[in-house]
C-alpha cells in the first residue's frame, strides 16, 4: 500500500487504464476537472488539519465525477483508530441533473463526503452549521450507537438540532461487530431530501495474515430527486392540491448526479435546465478483480430497481452487512428508502455499458409527465478481461424476498419475552384540517422542543408514543414488534440503534391483513421464519399487511422507529422505544 497522505488518494481515484483517457476533454469537462482537483486538494488539506497526524481514512470522492471508488485496502489490515473530521454545512445552487436547485453542501460537496472506516473505529465529526436560519442534525443510519444514544441525531428524541452559526461535535464508536454499508443523513426537517447526506462504509477487518482478496468496491448512492425544494414538495403533500398524494419525483440521481432531459419539463412547472451532454462514468469496473457495488437508496420516496447491461448482479448482503442467499439476476428490485444492498457484478468482461436505474412507479398516485422513471448512467470497465461470461441467469431478483445465509438465526428463541402490537396508518382527519398525518397507534409524532432523553417521561407531550422495555444487562429481553400497516401502500420502516430479524411479512389482497397475536391464534401470513430470517435495520412493511420484527433489547437508550419516506416521517409516522 503506497498510500501515505490524503493527496495520494486522487491517484487511486484515477485508474491508469481509464479507457477514453486519450480522447481530448471538452473545455467544460476540463474546467470541472480543474475545479474538482482544487476542491479535492482543499478538502484534503482541511482533512489533514483535522486528523492530528493520522492518515485520514476517508474518500472525498464527491469531487471526482460520479465515481465513488472505495478503499477497503486502507482499512481492513489496520488497527482501529479515531477518525476526526471537520465539516461545514452550507447550501448552494447546483445542477445535479442539469436543473438548478438549492442543495445542501458539506465542505462544499453534494452529496456529503463519504466516510470509510473499519469496525471498532471511533468517529469524531465536528459539524459547523453555516446555513442561514436553519437548524440541522445528523443521524448515522444503521449504526448501533451502543453507549452513544445521545449522538444518534434524531431531533426531538435524542438530540437538539445544531442552530445556525453553531457547531456540534458528534462522537461515537462503531461496534467491533458492525461492518457494512451505512449512511448518514439529516434527521431534522426535510433536509435529507435536498441532499444533506452521505455514505458511511464500515469495512470488515481482515484477520492477521489473511490473504482474502479484496474486491473493487463502488459506492452507488441512488435516489429519487425533486426539482422543487423538499419544503415545497411537503407543502404540496399537505396543502397545495396534492392533498394526500405523495409528491411524485422528477428525476433520478446516482452519487449526486443525473441527466435530466430538459424537454421533459412541463409548461406548468418551467425549469432552469441545462442539458448535461458529457458525463463521467458513474462506475468504473476493474476487470482484474471482483467488483462489488454498495448500493444505498438515499431517496425520499420511491423504491429503485437496478441493472447493468450485459452483466448479472448477485446480492451478497443487506443493510448492516448481513449476508443473504440470492441468485444472480439481470435486474434487482426494489430497494426502498433507507435500505442498502451489496451486490457482486458478474462477469466484468463487458466493455462500456450503463447502469439502468428504475423508479418503482407503481406506487405513484398521479402521473408526473415531467418524469422519465428510467435513467441510464455510464459504466466503464478497465483492465484485461479475465472472467468468463456467466451462464443463464434469472431475469429479475426481488430484493424483498431474499433470505439470510443459513445459521444466522441459531440464537433466536422460539418465543419473545415481550410483544408489541402496532398499527400504522395515514389519515386525513377533520380535526386536523384534513391534512394527511401519519399515525402509529393513534399518535402522530412531532418532535418535542427538548429531546426526550433529557426529560422526565411525565413531561413528554401527546405526540410521543414511546413504549418502555425494561433493560437487564445480564438478560436483555427479546422483543417482537408486530407492525401492522393499514394503508394501501407499503412503508419502509427504520429502527434506530438496533438490527432486527424479519420473522414474517404479509400483505392481504382482500382485507386489512392485520395480525394481533393476542386475538388471533394463527398469523394470516403463516408461521414465522426461524430458519433464515433477514437481519435488517430498515424493512418494507407491506400494504394492507404486517411485518413481525424480533430484536434483542440489549442497547439502552431511546430509539426511534419511523417510516423512511420523507413525507410520511414529516407528517408524523414515527414513534420510539425506551430501553432502560
Instruction: State the residues that interact with ligand NAG by CB under 6 A.
Output: 261, 263, 420-423, 441-442, 462, 467, 472, 474-475
At closest approach, how far in Å is the CB of 486 from ligand NAG? 11
Of the pair 61, 487, the CB lying nearest Cu ion is at 487
Q: Could you give the CA distance from residue 333 to residue 343 in angstroms, rounded to a whole number?
A: 12
Identify which of 182, 237, 165 has the alpha carbon closest to the alpha carbon of residue 434: 237
Identify which of 65, 63, 71 has the alpha carbon closest to the alpha carbon of residue 46: 63
Q: Which stretch binds Cu ion (CB under 5 A): 196-204, 297-305, 459-467, 489-497?
A: 489-497
Task: Select from ligand NAG, Cu ion, none the partner in contact with residue 368, using the beta carbon and a kind-dependent cut-off of 5 to 8 Å.
Answer: none
At closest approach, how far in Å is the CB of 500 from Cu ion? 17
Cβ count near 430 (within 10 Å) = 6
Position of cell 435488517?
Answer: 536
Tell me if 569 contacts Cu ion by CB under 5 A: no
Whether the Cβ atoms of residue 189 and residue 328 lie closer than 8 Å to each other: no
Of the pair 273, 483, the CB lying nearest Cu ion is at 483
Dig out the grid coordinates for 204 from the structure: 470488515
Task: Select from Cu ion, ligand NAG, none the partner in contact with residue 548, using the beta carbon and a kind-dependent cut-off of 5 to 8 Å.
Answer: none
At closest approach, how far in Å is the CB of 572 from ligand NAG? 12
Which one-letter DSSP state was computed for residue 395?
A: E
Dig out the grid coordinates for 285 from the structure: 469496473
Interacting residue with Cu ion among 563, 566, 575, 579 (CB under 5 A) = 563
Task: Select from ligand NAG, Cu ion, none the partner in contact with residue 491, using the beta carbon and a kind-dependent cut-off of 5 to 8 Å.
Answer: Cu ion
Position of cell 391483513?
Answer: 513
Task: Select from Cu ion, ligand NAG, none the partner in contact with residue 211, using the beta carbon and a kind-dependent cut-off of 5 to 8 Å.
Answer: none
Tell me if 336 contacts Cu ion by CB under 5 A: no
Whether the Cβ atoms of residue 121 and residue 177 lie closer than 8 Å to each other: no
Of the pair 22, 263, the CB lying nearest ligand NAG is at 263
Of the pair 414, 472, the CB lying nearest ligand NAG is at 472
Of the pair 414, 475, the CB lying nearest ligand NAG is at 475
Identify which of 336, 482, 340, 316 has the alpha carbon closest to the alpha carbon of residue 404: 316
Task: Select from Cu ion, ligand NAG, none the partner in contact with residue 460, using the beta carbon and a kind-dependent cut-off of 5 to 8 Å.
Answer: none
Q: How far is CA 57 from the centre of its chain?
A: 21
Q: How far is CA 132 from the centre of its chain?
A: 26
Of the pair 147, 369, the CB lying nearest ligand NAG is at 369
Q: Which stretch binds Cu ion (CB under 5 A): 104-112, 294-302, 361-369, 484-492?
A: 484-492
The angle formed by the CA atoms of residues 406, 412 and 416, to the nearest 5 degrees, is 150
Instruction: Please list, in sequence order, all residues whose beta carbon lies within 8 angstroms of the beta carbon of residue 414, skipping any fewer than 6 positions away.
Output: 530
Task: Select from Cu ion, ligand NAG, none the partner in contact with residue 568, using the beta carbon and a kind-dependent cut-off of 5 to 8 Å.
Answer: Cu ion
H helix intervals, 73-144: none
Which DSSP helix (H) or strand (E) runs through 121?
A: none
Task: Select from Cu ion, ligand NAG, none the partner in contact with residue 472, using the beta carbon and a kind-dependent cut-off of 5 to 8 Å.
Answer: ligand NAG
Beta strand spans in 119-196 (E): 122-129, 138-141, 167-173, 180-186
At closest approach, how far in Å is the CB of 338 from Cu ion? 10
Identify which of 393, 410, 204, 215 has the alpha carbon closest to the alpha carbon of residue 293: 215
Task: Select from ligand NAG, Cu ion, none the partner in contact with residue 563, using the beta carbon and a kind-dependent cut-off of 5 to 8 Å.
Answer: Cu ion
At closest approach, how far in Å is the CB of 479 from ligand NAG? 11
Identify which of 183, 174, 138 has the alpha carbon closest to the alpha carbon of residue 297: 183
Interacting residue with Cu ion among 379, 565, 566, 574 (CB under 5 A) = 565
Of the pair 212, 462, the CB lying nearest ligand NAG is at 462
Task: Select from Cu ion, ligand NAG, none the partner in contact with residue 233, using the beta carbon and a kind-dependent cut-off of 5 to 8 Å.
Answer: none
Question: Given its phi and psi angles, is residue 86 left (phi above 0), alpha (psi -120 to 50 degrees) or beta?
Answer: beta
Cα torsion 137, 235, 198, 396: sign: positive
Which DSSP helix (H) or strand (E) runs through 314?
A: strand 312-318
Task: Select from ligand NAG, Cu ion, none the partner in contact with residue 475, using the beta carbon and a kind-dependent cut-off of 5 to 8 Å.
Answer: ligand NAG
Of the pair 281, 300, the CB lying nearest Cu ion is at 300
Of the pair 207, 475, the CB lying nearest ligand NAG is at 475
Of the pair 421, 558, the CB lying nearest ligand NAG is at 421
Alpha-carbon dihedral of residues 520, 522, 525, 527, nearest 10 degrees? 140
At closest approach, how far in Å is the CB of 472 from ligand NAG? 4
Instruction: Please list, in sequence order, all residues whose beta carbon lies within 8 angstroms of the beta carbon of residue 133, skipping any fewer than 6 positions away.
Output: 164
At closest approach, how far in Å is the CB of 177 from Cu ion? 30
Task: Select from ligand NAG, Cu ion, none the partner in contact with residue 474, using the beta carbon and a kind-dependent cut-off of 5 to 8 Å.
Answer: ligand NAG
Task: Select from ligand NAG, Cu ion, none the partner in contact with residue 421, using the beta carbon and a kind-dependent cut-off of 5 to 8 Å.
Answer: ligand NAG
Cβ count near 550 (within 10 Å) = 23
Interacting residue with Cu ion among 491, 535, 536, 550 (CB under 5 A) = 491
477-485: strand order across its sheet: 436-440, 418-428, 477-485, 545-553, 500-507, 534-536
H helix intervals, 145-240: 230-238
Task: Select from ligand NAG, Cu ion, none the partner in contact with residue 82, using the beta carbon and a kind-dependent cut-off of 5 to 8 Å.
Answer: none
Of the pair 263, 414, the CB lying nearest ligand NAG is at 263
Q: Which stretch binds Cu ion (CB under 5 A): 91-99, 246-254, 315-323, 490-498?
A: 490-498
Tell me if 568 contacts Cu ion by CB under 5 A: yes
- Distances in Å between the Cα of 401 and the Cα atoms of 332, 333, 551 are 11, 10, 20
Of the pair 13, 469, the CB lying nearest ligand NAG is at 469
Of the pair 423, 460, the CB lying nearest ligand NAG is at 423
Q: Which stretch binds Cu ion (CB under 5 A): 89-97, 139-147, 439-447, 486-494?
A: 486-494
The phi, psi pair for 454, rounded to 5°, reads -100, 0
Contact positions vs Cu ion (CB under 5 A): 491, 563, 565, 568
Amino acid at each position: 500500500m503506497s498510500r501515505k497522505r490524503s493527496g495520494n488518494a486522487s491517484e487511486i481515484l484515477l485508474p491508469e487504464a481509464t479507457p477514453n483517457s486519450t480522447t481530448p476533454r471538452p473545455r467544460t469537462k476540463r474546467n470541472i476537472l480543474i475545479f474538482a482537483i482544487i476542491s479535492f486538494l482543499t478538502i484534503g488539506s482541511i482533512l489533514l488539519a483535522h486528523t492530528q497526524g493520522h492518515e485520514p481514512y476517508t474518500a472525498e470522492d464527491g469531487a471526482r465525477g460520479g465515481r465513488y471508488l472505495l478503499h477497503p485496502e486502507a482499512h481492513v489490515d489496520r488497527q482501529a483508530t479515531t477518525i476526526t473530521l471537520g465539516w461545514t454545512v452550507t447550501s448552494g445552487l447546483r445542477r445535479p441533473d442539469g436543473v438548478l436547485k438549492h442543495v445542501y453542501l458539506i465542505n462544499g460537496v453534494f452529496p456529503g463526503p463519504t466516510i470509510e472506516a473499519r469496525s471498532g473505529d471511533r468517529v469524531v465529526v465536528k459539524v459547523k452549521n453555516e446555513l442561514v436560519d436553519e437548524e440541522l442534525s445528523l443521524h448515522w443510519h444503521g449504526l448501533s450507537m451502543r453507549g452513544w444514544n445521545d449522538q444518534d441525531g434524531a431531533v426531538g428524541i435524542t438530540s437538539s438540532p445544531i442552530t445556525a452559526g453553531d457547531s456540534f461535535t458528534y462522537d461515537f464508536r462503531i461496534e467491533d461487530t458492525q461492518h457494512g454499508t451505512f449512511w448518514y443523513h439529516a434527521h431534522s426537517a426535510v433536509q435529507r431530501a435536498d441532499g444533506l447526506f452521505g455514505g458511511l462504509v464500515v469495512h470488515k477487518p481482515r484477520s492477521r495474515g489473511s490473504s482474502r482478496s479484496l474486491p473493487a468496491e463502488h459506492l452507488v448512492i441512488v435516489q429519487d430527486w425533486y426539482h422543487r425544494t423538499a419544503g415545497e414538495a411537503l407543502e404540496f403533500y399537505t396543502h397545495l392540491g396534492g392533498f394526500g398524494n405523495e409528491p411524485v419525483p422528477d428525476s433520478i440521481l446516482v452519487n449526486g448526479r443525473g441527466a435530466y432531459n430538459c424537454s421533459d419539463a412541463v409548461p406548468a412547472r418551467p425549469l432552469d435546465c441545462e442539458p448535461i451532454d458529457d458525463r463521467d462514468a458513474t462506475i468504473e469496473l476493474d476487470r482484474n478483480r471482483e467488483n462489488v457495488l454498495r448500493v444505498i437508496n438515499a431517496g425520499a420516496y420511491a423504491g429503485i430497481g437496478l441493472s447493468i447491461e450485459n452483466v448479472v448482479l448477485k446480492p451478497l448482503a443487506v443493510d448492516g452487512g448481513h449476508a443473504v442467499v440470492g441468485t444472480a439476476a439481470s435486474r434487482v428490485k426494489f430497494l426502498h428508502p433507507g435500505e442498502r444492498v451489496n451486490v457482486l457484478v458478474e462477469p466484468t468482461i463487458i466493455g462500456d455499458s450503463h447502469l439502468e436505474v428504475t423508479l418503482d412507479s407503481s406506487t405513484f398516485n398521479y402521473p408526473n409527465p415531467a418524469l422519465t422513471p428510467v435513467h441510464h448512467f455510464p459504466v466503464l470497465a478497465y483492465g484485461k478481461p479475465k472472467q468468463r461470461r456467466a451462464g443463464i441467469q434469472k431475469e429479475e431478483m426481488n430484493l424483498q424476498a431474499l433470505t439470510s445465509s443459513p445459521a444466522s438465526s441459531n440464537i433466536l428463541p422460539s418465543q419473545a419475552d415481550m410483544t408489541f402490537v402496532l398499527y400504522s396508518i395515514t389519515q386525513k382527519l377533520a380535526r386536523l384540517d384534513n391534512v394527511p398525518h401519519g399515525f402509529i397507534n393513534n399518535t402522530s409524532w412531532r418532535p418535542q422542543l427538548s429531546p426526550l432523553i433529557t426529560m422526565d417521561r411525565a413531561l413528554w407531550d401527546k405526540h410521543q408514543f414511546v413504549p418502555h422495555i425494561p433493560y437487564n444487562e445480564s438478560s436483555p429481553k427479546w422483543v417482537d414488534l408486530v407492525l401492522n400497516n393499514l394503508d394501501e401502500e407499503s412503508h419502509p420502516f427504520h429502527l434506530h440503534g438496533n438490527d432486527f430479524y424479519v420473522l414474517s411479512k404479509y400483505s392481504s389482497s382482500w382485507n386489512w391483513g392485520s395480525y394481533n397475536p393476542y386475538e388471533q391464534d394463527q398469523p394470516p401470513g403463516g408461521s414465522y421464519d426461524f430458519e433464515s430470517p433477514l437481519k435488517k435495520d430498515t424493512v418494507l412493511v407491506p400494504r394492507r399487511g404486517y411485518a413481525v420484527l424480533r430484536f434483542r433489547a440489549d442497547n439502552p437508550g431511546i430509539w426511534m422507529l419511523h417510516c423512511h419516506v420523507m413525507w410520511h416521517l414529516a407528517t408524523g409516522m414515527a414513534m420510539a422505544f425506551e430501553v432502560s
